[in-house]
Amino acid sequence: MIYLFVISLFFLFYIYFGYYFLLLLINLFKKNDLKNVQKNYLPFISIIIASYNEEKIIADKIKNTMTLNYPKDKLEIIIFSDASTDRNEIVKEYQDRGVTLLRIEGRRGKTYCQNEAVGMAKGEIIFFSDANGIYRKDSIGKIIRNFSQPEVGCVVGELQYIDKAISENGVDEVGENIYWKYETSIKKLESKVSSLIGANGAIYAIRKELYVPLPDYAISDFIEPIEIFKKGYKVIYEPEAIAYESLSNDPIEIYRRRVRIVTRTVYSLLFDKSFFDLFNPFKYGFFSIQLFSHKILRWFTGLFMMLIFFTNIFLLKEGLIYHTLFLFQILFYLLAIFGFISETYITGKTLKLACIIFYFCLSSIAMLAGIINVILGNEIITWETNR
């Protein structure tokens, strides 16, 4: 029982602290081998925007995309609609200004639609964006300059949550913001050390020639960067390319989104023929350790937390240290419950620490639910819009 407790505690510490400090340590001795960036590199690009029932925000997204600081004669905008039931006419109003609507019937899911959109895209560089991701005006140029280096195959921008969402004191907004700052710092380090582990759907770009059509169940913004890395190209992070996004402050929606992401990501990995090869450090170097540490182990956070809690109960008779650790866990979960209550039933200011802990617990449960989905054979291909 002691061994199970110690091993679970070790993994939990390693996932959120040990791995981060390992990246910091390696980064101290890692030289930057990407230096020849050409700011005047201006290839023809295609911006592909995913949408499903986005009539409330799609016009703002189109206007934002059309006003980005990039030559208009070197840019095309493709918006795919995955059998939307709302007003597609909004997109059609912009067709005479270089905006193309690709309507897909039958609710095939984001990855299928993306495959179709890339097939018709004319750009040398393909940008992928969600309908609710608003770009800073210079974001395109910040990403494109990196492609002037032939060894770069994919560039991922930075997703930030807007202040309006955070100022409402929603527990998930606070928790999500803290979590994303932590994730951002890891992405920066991973990019310098080896390669990013996946992208974010709001803002990333790849060379069209490297695009790999994926099966419907695959989550493209995770698998595409891995496929590009496997081909010998670099997947890097560009922190100056900013996309802004606001999330729902509904805990149920946050939970469902996390379950969907993990379910699709696990399916994507398991059905990759080179799945086990990815964890071979002799073939892929430190990337294998990154994938195992950043993704695989983290998905089991909820399991490690449960093992620590229940084994701790059986170890209470072993001494004061186990009593102390158990009391700490009780306090931790009480704060999580308070965070849930304050978000659901109390208006006004909330205790930020409780909000963060609640989000952490919610995320951990959702990731474990995603694993269980895969074990039970439950696929999630389509997505719902909640604005």
Per-residue b/e over 164-188, b at no fewer than 16 CB within 10 Å? ebbeebbbbbbbbbbebeeebebbb
What integer pLDDT is reported at residue 92 of this predicted model?
85
Q: What is the mean pLDDT of residues 13-17?
A: 96
Q: What is the mean pLDDT of residues 354-365?
A: 91
Quick one: CA torsion of 129, 135, 141, 145, rounded to 10 degrees?
Answer: -50
Q: What is the pLDDT of residues 201-231, one digit of tens each?
A: 899 999 999 999 998 888 999 999 999 999 9
Class of residue 339 by CB neighbours under 10 A (exposed 0-12, middle 13-18, buried 19+): buried
What integer pLDDT is reported at residue 35 of this predicted model?
63
Pairing between strand 99-104 and 152-161? unpaired
Strand partners, 45: 75, 125
What integer pLDDT is reported at residue 192 of this predicted model?
87
Structural domains of the chain ordered from first start: 45-253 (3.90.550.10)
pLDDT band of 247, cuts 50, 70, 90: low
C-alpha to C-alpha distance for 175 and 355, rounded to whole angstroms: 6
Q: What is the mean pLDDT of residues 130-147?
A: 93
What integer pLDDT is reported at residue 102 of this predicted model?
93
Amino acid identity at 169: N
Q: How many residues does the chain have?
A: 387
Q: What is the mean pLDDT of residues 251-262?
A: 88
What integer pLDDT is reported at residue 121 of this predicted model?
96
**Lowest-confidence pick of 21-35, 205-219, 257-271:** 21-35
C-alpha to C-alpha distance for 247 and 121, rounded to whole angstroms: 29
Q: What is the pLDDT of residues 175-185, one digit of tens each?
A: 556 777 888 89
Residue holding tokens 């595409």?
Answer: 224
> What are the residues whose beta carbons fall under 8 Å from the beta carbon of 205, sequence distance 6 or more?
45, 125, 126, 127, 128, 143, 144, 147, 154, 155
Q: What is the pLDDT of residues 64-95, one digit of tens each?
A: 999 999 999 999 999 999 988 877 778 888 88
C-alpha to C-alpha distance for 64 and 133, rounded to whole angstroms: 10
Q: Report pTM.
A: 0.88
> To 5 degrees, how large is the angle CA 384–CA 291–CA 251?
30
Q: What is the mean pLDDT of residues 321-346?
A: 90
C-alpha to C-alpha distance for 281 and 382, rounded to whole angstroms: 34
Count Cβ atoms below 10 Å from residue 274 Cβ, excluding itself. Answer: 13
